[in-house]
Amino acid sequence: MLHELHIRNLGVIEEATAEFSTGLSVVTGETGAGKTMVVSSLRLLSGHRADASRVRNGADKASVEGIFSADSAAVDELVEQVGGYVDDGEVIASRTVNATGRSRAHLAGKTVAAGVLGEFAGHVITIHGQNDQLRLLDPVRQLGALDDYAGLGEKVATYQARRAEWLRLDKDLRRRMEARRDLALESETLQRAVEAIDEIDPQPGEDVEVKAQIKRLQAADDIRAGLQRAQAALDGMDGLSGDDFGDSEGASALVSQATNEMTNLTDTEAEGGNLSDLADRLGEVSVLLADISSEIGQALLDVPDPDELDGLLQRQTQLRELRKYAVDVDGALAWRDQARERLESMDVSDEALQKLQDEVAAARDAAREVAEDLSSARVRASKKFSKAVTEEIRGLHMSAEIRVDVRQPGEKAGEKADELGPHGIDEVEFQLVQGGNVNPLAGSASGGELSRVMLALEVVLAAGTKGGRTMVFDEVDAGVGGKAAVEIGRRLAKLAVDNQVIVVTHLPQVAAFGDAHVYVAKATAADSVTSSVRTLSEDERVEELSRMLAGLESETGRAHAEELMAMATEAKAKL
């Protein structure tokens, strides 16, 4: 529901705020006052194209802001997606248009794309104007109206999902058939590459590990020689590394000898000497040197065997062959996995193609089964829909009948439809029956008749919905007058029982049914026209209806206006 609309520098409106309540709100005003700017504002909030020519002369930008109720789960979800917030159950949508043509959109306090405003508006508001009447002539929209009436949305979605699967499989089959030779060559190349990688059988990270092992093995001789010299220095091993140490005793033996000497001296030491401490410390050094020598020996045993180097170098050469597929082993493994997936998807053997042909046929049959069920449901609903719309347009003083013709392409020629279109196997045409003549609605209805048919459709479709939407009608009563205008007002009021309805009208018969009356007034200066928007009181409504009836306020016009309002009040009480 729309609570408030604020307009600034849009068309002839410099700044105005309009408040809307539940029920039927009518918008009236003199010609050129800017009544349609209300609808233009709502179109901007619905994500429609921003037109720089709408910016008021002398202003750098125009802005529109609407405050809506947020009592829809879909709206809550959308607001959450954009990261916005709901304030006291209300959502604010706004749009600004620069004089240069650029525009910005905001929803729930966040900057969004105009398309997001369109998605938001799709949940809360529906706008009907003369362009919308023309869209009523589109066969696809006529089909959509029938589906909405019959509640076939879920069945249509099921059909479209199955059709999409059939088209996907069919496209894959055609691609394989048309490129069978090229795919066969590609398949052979990929298969050889996969086999080559499998033959090498690389392990994740193996190239890094092999490189590190080779580096260690290449340094093994130097490491072994160094350890041996260190052990010789400790233990006095002879003939090592070119007799670097000669036949001299090692450090361990010399330290042991020094320990013995110091121990012997302790017996002759005078009281209070420190030779005993020195002997103990030399003993500790001797034990430590023995431990170090033992650990060096263990380290010598752990030095890799240089004979392994040749095998590792050969393995490194094998792994380097994988660089034609990727820079490292892990990349080559990933490439192999992708190649296998590609091979599975491009199997062009006779068996694979036959299997795919069977899948295509099965998918098509599944889609057609739903399409035929959908078609039968449409045919059944079309009769009820035709009757309901006809009753409504006759209530609008239109002596005609609406028929909904559901047929399949080629049906008139006695052929069975074979085309699974985006919406099924049906074509729908709304027909206008007048004076015994049956003609397509698109080629036989006048502007006023289209207005009444559209309103009748809305009334019929609204009867099957839960309501709660905002419906905007821009001069839906164009080309209509007299009793038909009264009936239009009555049906708009009927729609407003469960929905918020806003109608821009020039007919007093329609305006009299309003629960609220918004008046657009213009003030003309020498070089500009400025309009204002305000909600009329009951007395002001009588004055405005009098003006609309007689063109000026008079006692007769006022009496007629009061009579018209009384009639409308009585009629609404019966809804």
What span, in angstroms and rounded, lies between the C-alpha atoms of 220 and 312?
Answer: 14
Asked whether residue 155 carries a pLDDT value surpassing 90, the answer given is yes
Is the separation of the CB atoms in 45 and 93 below 8 Å? yes
Give the three-class secondary structure for 248.
Answer: coil
Residue for token pair 């045993």: 301
Is the separation of the CB atoms in 304 and 223 below 8 Å? no
% pLDDT > 90, the chain? 28
Q: Which residues contact 9 (CB under 8 A, 6 or more apart)?
A: 15, 55, 56, 59, 61, 62, 63
Asked whether residue 104 carries a pLDDT value surpassing 80, the answer given is yes
Top mean-pLDDT range of 210-219, 367-376, 515-524:
367-376
Q: Which residues contact 445 (CB under 8 A, 6 or more apart)?
A: 432, 453
Helix, strand, coil percent content, the chain, rounded in steps of 5: 55, 20, 25
Least confident of 166-170, 262-266, 344-348, 522-526: 344-348
Asked whether residue 56 carries a pLDDT value surpassing 70, the answer given is yes
What span, in angstroms and rounded, lies between the C-alpha atoms of 377 and 17?
Answer: 47
Asked whether residue 241 carries a pLDDT value surpassing 50, the answer given is no
Asked whether residue 238 carries a pLDDT value surpassing 60, the answer given is no
% pLDDT > 70, the chain? 90
- The DSSP annotation for 86-125 comes to -BTTEEEEEEEEETTS-EEEEETTEEE-HHHHHHHHHHHE
Asked whether residue 248 carries a pLDDT value surpassing 70, the answer given is no
Q: Which residues contact 542 (CB under 8 A, 6 or more apart)?
A: 558, 561, 562, 565
Q: Residue 406: exposed, middle, or buried by beta-carbon count in 10 A (0-12, 13-18, 19+)? A: buried
Asked whether residue 308 carries a pLDDT value surpassing 80, the answer given is no
pLDDT at 465: 66
Domain residue ranges in the chain: 2-133+447-573, 206-327
Mean pLDDT, range 145-171, rounded to an integer: 93
Q: What is the CA 567 to chain-centroid distance, rounded?
A: 49
Top mean-pLDDT range of 72-81, 104-113, 402-411, 555-564:
104-113
What span, in angstroms and rounded, lies between the C-alpha atoms of 504 and 38?
Answer: 8
pLDDT: which is higher, 50 or 368: 368
Average pLDDT score over the chain: 84
Residues 354-413: pLDDT tens digits?
888 899 999 999 999 999 999 999 999 999 999 999 998 888 888 889 999 999 876 554
Confidence of residue 132 (pLDDT cuts 50, 70, 90): low
Which of the listed CATH numbers 3.40.50.300, 1.10.357.10, 1.20.1560.10, 3.40.190.10 matches domain 2-133+447-573?
A: 3.40.50.300
